[in-house]
C-alpha cells in the first residue's frame, strides 16, 4: 500500500479522548486548515482587500479545487466546479438534465435517497409543471422501473442511512439505453469509495466537501457535467458568475465556458481555503488504498460489534462491495445509545427512526479506534448505560 495512513492521521486535529466515527457527516479539521484560513483572512482579505480576487486567485478557486476533487472521483480536469450547497447543486443538475429531455416527464429516484434531493425534485416539478412527475421506488426496484418514459434517473450512490451502494455503472447503462440522463449524488461517495465518473459515463454528478473531504461546516458543494454535455447545458440558476463575461455586466445571460457556467454567485473563499488544505492531504493517498483500508476497518467493526452486542442488528449490507464507508446498526433505543456513546467519547450519529451510524475514514481512523469504540459500545449495551432520561432528550441536530 503506497498510502501512509499513519502520516495522514497526524495531519488532522483530533481532540484528546475522542474516537471520531462521524467523518461521513462532518470531517475533522486538518491541522493546516487553521493556518491556511488564518493566512487567507490576514494576508489576503486583510491586506489585499478586494484586490484578492485577482492577486490571491480567489476567482479561480472554484475550478482549481474542482479539478483537485475531480482526481478523487474519476472526473477529467475542467468538469467539476465548486459553489453553493449540495441542495442547490442537485437543483441545478436536475433542472439542466430535464431541459435536455424535453419530451419526457418522469424523474425516477428511490426511497433511500436523502430527503433534500427528493424535496428539491418535488419543488422543481411543481415549478416546471407540464405533467412532470417524481417517481420514487424502493432502492432494489430502481433497475426494473427504468422505462422509455424516463427523463432523468436521480440517485444518491451510497444510502445515507444504511450505507447500501448502488451499482452506478450498471444503472447508468440501463438509463442510457432508454435515452434517459442520470444525476448522481456523491455526498457519501466522494473520498469514501472509488468513483469513476468518466469511466461509468455519468452525465451529471454532485456532492459535498464537508464530509469525507473535510472542508469544515458549510463548505461548498461541487457539480460535475460530462465534457460531452457541457456545451448543451443551459443553467437554470443563471447567476452572474456563470456568465461568459461577468464583468461585461451585459443585460442578457450567456452561459460561461464549460463547467464554469454552473457557478452562480460569489464563492465562499475562506471556506475554500480550508478545503485547499484538506486536499493537500488527499494528494498523499490513492482512492484504491483508501477503499481497501476502509473495507478492513468496516469488516472488523461489524465482526466485533456482532460478537459483543447481540441486541444491535446490522442495517448495512454484509457484503463490503455493496456498501460505502459507513456501518449502521438498528436498535429501537438507537438515539439514547448514541448519546451515551458520545458522552463516553465515541462520536457517531443517529438517523431516524432507529439507525446508529458509524463512519470509517482511513485518513485518520485506525484499527485501535475500532477496538476502542466497540469496547465502549459493549459496556453501554451490557450495562444498559443508555437508559437515562438525559440521553432520550432529542437535540436539534441528531
Q: Which is nearer to ligand PLP, 210 or 386 (CB)?
A: 210
> How far is 244 from 227, CA to CA, in rounded Å?
17
- Report the b/e string of 284-310 with b at 16+ CB within 10 A: ebebebbbebbbebbeebbebbeeebe
Q: Which is nearer to ligand PLP, 8 or 113 (CB)?
A: 113
Helices (H), 10-85: 31-39, 47-48, 52-55, 61-70
Helices (H), 199-286: 227-230, 269-282
Q: Which of 185, 349, 354, 369 is catalytic?
A: 185
Beta bridge partners of 133: 106
Q: Is 126 in the active site?
A: no
Q: Which of 104, 211, 263, 291 is catalytic?
A: 211
Min dist. Cβ of residue 395 to ligand PLP (A): 17
Residue reference for cell 450495562: 383
Q: Which is nearer to ligand PLP, 117 or 369 (CB)?
A: 117
Q: Which of 20, 210, 329, 358 is catalytic?
A: 210
Q: Which is nearer to ligand PLP, 37 or 158 (CB)?
A: 158
> How far is 147 from 162, CA to CA, in rounded Å?
27
Name the CA radius of gyration of the chain, rounded: 22
Contacts 24+ apart (CB under 8 A), 112-116: 112/138, 112/139, 112/156, 112/159, 112/160, 112/161, 112/162, 112/164, 113/154, 113/155, 113/156, 113/185, 114/156, 114/160, 114/185, 114/187, 116/86, 116/87, 116/90
Q: Which is nearer to ligand PLP, 24 or 294 (CB)?
A: 24
* 68 contacts: CB under 8 Å, gap ≥ 6: 276, 279, 282, 283
Look at residues 148, 116, 153 and name the one whose alpha carbon lies nearest to residue 134.
153
Q: Which of 261, 263, 293, 357 is catalytic?
A: 357
Q: What is the helix (H) or strand (E) element at residue 92, kind and residue range?
A: helix 86-99
> How far is 54 from 58, CA to CA, in rounded Å?
7
Contacting residues toward ligand PLP, per CB under 6 A: 85-87, 114, 116-117, 156, 160, 185, 187-188, 208, 221
Q: Is 167 in the active site?
A: no
Q: Is 91 in the active site?
A: no
Q: Which is nearer to ligand PLP, 251 or 397 (CB)?
A: 397
> How far is 116 from 237, CA to CA, in rounded Å?
18
Q: Which is nearer to ligand PLP, 156 or 294 (CB)?
A: 156
* 223 contacts: CB under 8 Å, gap ≥ 6: 80, 81, 83, 89, 92, 93, 204, 205, 206, 259, 262
Q: Which is nearer to ligand PLP, 220 or 235 (CB)?
A: 220
Min dist. Cβ of residue 326 to ligand PLP (A): 11
Min dist. Cβ of residue 366 to ligand PLP (A): 25
Q: Inter-axis angle of helices 334-343 and 367-382, to 10 degrees?
A: 120
Q: Is 185 in the active site?
A: yes
Min dist. Cβ of residue 221 to ligand PLP (A): 6
Q: Inter-axis angle of helices 269-282 and 61-70, to 10 degrees?
A: 30
Q: Is 357 in the active site?
A: yes
Residue numbers annotated as active site = 114, 185, 210-211, 357
Amino acid at each position: 500500500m503506497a498510502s501512509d495512513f499513519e502520516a495522514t492521521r497526524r495531519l488532522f486535529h483530533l481532540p484528546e479522548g475522542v474516537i471520531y466515527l462521524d467523518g461521513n457527516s462532518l470531517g475533522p479539521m486538518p491541522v493546516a486548515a487553521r493556518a491556511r484560513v488564518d493566512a487567507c483572512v490576514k494576508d489576503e482579505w486583510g491586506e489585499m482587500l478586494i484586490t484578492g480576487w485577482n492577486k490571491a486567485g480567489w476567482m479561480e478557486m472554484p475550478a482549481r479545487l474542482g479539478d483537485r476533487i475531480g482526481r478523487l472521483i474519476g472526473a477529467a480536469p475542467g468538469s467539476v466546479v465548486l459553489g453553493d450547497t449540495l441542495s442547490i447543486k442537485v437543483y441545478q443538475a436536475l433542472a439542466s438534465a430535464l431541459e435536455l429531455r424535453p419530451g419526457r416527464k418522469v424523474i425516477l429516484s428511490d426511497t433511500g435517497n436523502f430527503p433534500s434531493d427528493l424535496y428539491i425534485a418535488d419543488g422543481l416539478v411543481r415549478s416546471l409543471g407540464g405533467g412532470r412527475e417524481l417517481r420514487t421506488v424502493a432502492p432494489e426496484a430502481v433497475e426494473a422501473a427504468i422505462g422509455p418514459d424516463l427523463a432523468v434517473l436521480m440517485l444518491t450512490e451510497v444510502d445515507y442511512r444504511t450505507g447500501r451502494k448502488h451499482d452506478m455503472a450498471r444503472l447508468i447503462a440501463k438509463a442510457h439505453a432508454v435515452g434517459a440522463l442520470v444525476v448522481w449524488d456523491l455526498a457519501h461517495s466522494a473520498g469514501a469509495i472509488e468513483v469513476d465518473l468518466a469511466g461509468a459515463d455519468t452525465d451529471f454528478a454532485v456532492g459535498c466537501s464537508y464530509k469525507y473531504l473535510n472542508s469544515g461546516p458549510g463548505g461548498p458543494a461541487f457539480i460535475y457535467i460530462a465534457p460531452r454535455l457541457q456545451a448543451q447545458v443551459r443553467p437554470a440558476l443563471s447567476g452572474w458568475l456563470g456568465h461568459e463575461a461577468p464583468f461585461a455586466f451585459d443585460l442578457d445571460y450567456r452561459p460561461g465556458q464549460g463547467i464554469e457556467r454552473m457557478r452562480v454567485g460569489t464563492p465562499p473563499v475562506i471556506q475554500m481555503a480550508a478545503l485547499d488544505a484538506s486536499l493537500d492531504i488527499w494528494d498523499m493517498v490513492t482512492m484504491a488504498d483508501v477503499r481497501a483500508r476502509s473495507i478492513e476497518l468496516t469488516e472488523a467493526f461489524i465482526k466485533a460489534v456482532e460478537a459483543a452486542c447481540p441486541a444491535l442488528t446490522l442495517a448495512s449490507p454484509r457484503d463490503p462491495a455493496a456498501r460505502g464507508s459507513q456501518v449502521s446498526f438498528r436498535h429501537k433505543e438507537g438515539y439514547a445509545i448514541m448519546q451515551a456513546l458520545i458522552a463516553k467519547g465515541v462520536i457517531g450519529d443517529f438517523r431516524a427512526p432507529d439507525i446508529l451510524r458509524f463512519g470509517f475514514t482511513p485518513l485518520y481512523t485506525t484499527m485501535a479506534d475500532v477496538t476502542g469504540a466497540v469496547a465502549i459500545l459493549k459496556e453501554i449495551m451490557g450495562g444498559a448505560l443508555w437508559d437515562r432520561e438525559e440521553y432520550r432528550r432529542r437535540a436539534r441536530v441528531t
